[in-house]
Amino acid sequence: MNAHRAILVWPDIVEDSAPRALWDAAAIARATGGVASGDFLCSGVEIDSRDVREGDLFFALKGETMDGHRFLDAAFANGASAAVVDRPIPQPHILVKDTNRALEALARASRERMQGKAIGVTGSVGKTGVKEAIFAALDRSSRGSAHRSVKSYNNHVGVPLSLARCPENASYGIFEMGMNHSGEIAALTAQVRPHVAVITTIAPAHIESLGSEEAIADAKAEVFAGLLPGGTAIIPADSAHFERLRDAALACGAKVISFGAAAHADVRLLDSVPASNGGSLVTADMGDTRICYTVAAAGEHWITNSLAVMAAVRAAGGDLGAAGLSLAEMPGLAGRGARHQIALGNGASALLIDESYNANPASMRATLKQLGETPARRRIAVLGAMKELGDFTPAFHAALAEPLAASGAEFALLVGPEMDALARELGKGVTGTLGKPIGFAHCANTEEAVAVLSGFGLEDGDAILVKGSNSVGLAGLVAHFSGKEG
């Protein structure tokens, strides 16, 4: 067989002979300490009856105001093969004392049987995008044998759900971990027990509950406590909290790999130039080798993100060539950089940049800078409120006037009461790059914003950035103008 033919042939893998079912009744009962109503097989795990697919195991979770048992009929109507419940039902089931604890128990059992490498990803900004990029790289090099948290399933329910869904023979599992308070990452990393832990960056997200960036860094650094012996910590070299993160990782016995433009970075940016697709051509030094690759996603923050991806892929034993190809092909994610061409009629169109899923001061600055680097006839910024900033809320919103002006935006549409501070700043006559005051409108909600932008008069060649915290609901504005749901 010649070399070219060898590349194209899918290799025989011993694990391919393993059962195709994700879980069987006996394994679920054994893991959860429950009692099975009979024999059955499950191909997936789900907690939302609306998302149940044929063959799924449905967990009837209970919260303060919601009881999943109310949705059992809907789950089975959608094709659930069985459910985990705390009361007997006529359909196939596992009977347990506490369904929430049962999900955590199944997650532990899944992690115990997982044969591949686990990678944990956290950070104030960019963790979902970096998680998706690491997954794309490792899934490519393992020929479909990687698993990851879907969407932003990164909390006390999302992490165990993602673990419970992991196939036994997965070569890699990439799990996102988020937090609002100190101690939350510690609990999640204890479940994931990663071989590699990545912190993307530290920024004042959730500063309302934590009080300072130093406290945020400490809370994120909890991820290192879950590292398996010999594990690797991937940290941002350019962060003001680099030494704090490094020391926390070393205290946990981790090998530390840093990434960024700083001279001391282990994965160091040497050069980046704009690529023809709107992304960047990146050259990086990895210590013993130099690599050059294209990043399809636009913005300087994605250049830095790509360095973290390369560091993580190498630490997990993945293929850097596959990682480079994946970064070159990876499209923007809905709510996190997806780009839509809006048809305006008569062949005219405008570019809409969808960053509607989340926002904090650091990510706002990064995406406004990206807007400024985007070729456009006019630039328009639709900015939603940033949440969980506490007493810092007015100051952080007012401070957006400077990056907004630098972006070259001619008009800003501000959404949410927290944006009143920025409206006051712009009302003082803040000028943009052309020396003219930036026009603006302040709306209470997304519905008003849709009406204002509809009446603004978009023109051929316009670029519109939509950025805000998810709870503001700007995804609805994106859907309205793009015709695509997130």
- Assess whether 143 and 177 both reside in one domain: yes
Domain contains 105: no
Domain contains 463: yes
- Assess whether 464 and 318 both reside in one domain: no
- Assess whether 46 and 143 both reside in one domain: no
Range of the domain at 45: 14-97
pLDDT > 50? residue 81: yes
Domain contains 5: no
Residue 342 is encoded by which pair of tokens? 């809006």
pLDDT for the residue 4: 45
pLDDT > 80? residue 209: no
- Assess whether 156 and 228 both reside in one domain: yes
pLDDT for the residue 6: 44
Alpha-carbon distance 339 to 352, whole Å? 6
pLDDT for the residue 335: 79
| Helices and strands in the chain: count of H runs, count of E runs | 18, 22
CATH number at residue 82: 3.40.1390.10
CB 144 within 8 A of CB 196: no
Summarize the confidence of residues 252-273 as an average pLDDT.
97
Bridge-based pairing of strands 232-236 and 255-260 is parallel
- Assess whether 201 and 92 both reside in one domain: no
pLDDT > 90? residue 398: yes
Alpha-carbon distance 137 to 318, whole Å? 8
CATH number at residue 344: 3.90.190.20
CB 103 within 8 A of CB 157: yes
- Assess whether 283 and 364 both reside in one domain: no
Give the full edge-to-edge strand order of the sheet including 232-236: 146-148, 172-176, 117-122, 196-199, 232-236, 255-260, 267-274, 280-285, 290-295
pLDDT > 80? residue 207: no
CATH number at residue 185: 3.40.1190.10
pLDDT for the residue 316: 97
Q: From the centroid of its chain, how far is CA 381?
A: 22
Phi-psi region of 389 (alpha: psi -120 to 50; beta: other; left: phi over 0): alpha
- Assess whether 133 and 65 both reside in one domain: no
In percent, the amount of the chain with pLDDT more than 90 equals: 79
Residue 438 is encoded by which pair of tokens? 């930036």
pLDDT for the residue 151: 79
- Assess whether 74 and 134 both reside in one domain: no
Round the CA-based radius of gyration of the chain to a whole number and report it: 24
pLDDT in tens, 115-125: 999 999 999 98
CB 458 within 8 A of CB 376: no
pLDDT band at 274 (very low <50, low <70, confident <90, very high): confident
Does pTM surpass 0.75?
A: yes
Domain contains 475: yes
- Assess whether 296 and 216 both reside in one domain: yes
pLDDT for the residue 205: 73
Domain contains 195: yes
pLDDT for the residue 206: 67
Domain contains 108: no
User: Which residue, 306, 329, 352, sits at the end of a domain?
Assistant: 329
pLDDT band at 277 (very low <50, low <70, confident <90, very high): low
Domain contains 9: no
pLDDT for the residue 77: 97
Alpha-carbon distance 125 to 202, whole Å? 7
- Assess whether 295 and 161 both reside in one domain: yes
DSSP 51: G
pLDDT in tens, 162-182: 999 999 999 999 999 998 888
pLDDT > 90? residue 477: yes
The number of C-alpha atoms within 13 Å of 55 and in the hemisphere containing its C-beta is 10
Alpha-carbon distance 47 to 288, whole Å? 46
Alpha-carbon distance 223 to 402, whole Å? 34
Summarize the confidence of residues 418-427 as an average pLDDT.
95
First-last CA distance in the chain? 45
pLDDT for the residue 345: 87
User: Which residue, 34, 68, 97, sits at the end of a domain?
Assistant: 97
Residue 173, helix vs strand vs coil: strand
In terms of pLDDT, which residue wins out, 285 or 357? 285
User: Which residue, 280, 309, 329, sits at the end of a domain?
Assistant: 329
pLDDT > 80? residue 353: yes
pLDDT band at 3 (very low <50, low <70, confident <90, very high): very low
pLDDT band at 299 (very low <50, low <70, confident <90, very high): confident
Alpha-carbon distance 374 to 157, whole Å? 38
pLDDT for the residue 20: 67
In terms of pLDDT, which residue wins out, 36 or 180? 36
In terms of pLDDT, which residue wins out, 166 or 274? 166
- Assess whether 344 and 320 both reside in one domain: no
Listed in sequence order, the residues at least 6 apart from 393 whose beta carbon sits closer than 8 Å to its beta carbon are: 386, 418, 421
In percent, the amount of the chain with pLDDT more than 70 equals: 95
62-66, 109-113, 232-236, 460-464: segment of lowest average pLDDT: 62-66
- How many domains is the chain partitioned into structurally? 3
Phi and psi torsions of 432, nearest 5°: -90, -165
> In this structure, is the dihedral angle defined by the CA atoms of residues 208, 360, 216 and 336, taken in order, positive or negative?
positive
Summarize the confidence of residues 338-344 as an average pLDDT.
91
- Assess whether 430 and 282 both reside in one domain: no
**Strand partners of residue 439:** 411
pLDDT > 80? residue 157: yes
pLDDT for the residue 388: 86
pLDDT for the residue 197: 98
Which of 333, 340, 339, 277 shows the shortest CA–CA distance to 305? 333
Alpha-carbon distance 14 to 31, whole Å? 25
pLDDT for the residue 10: 45
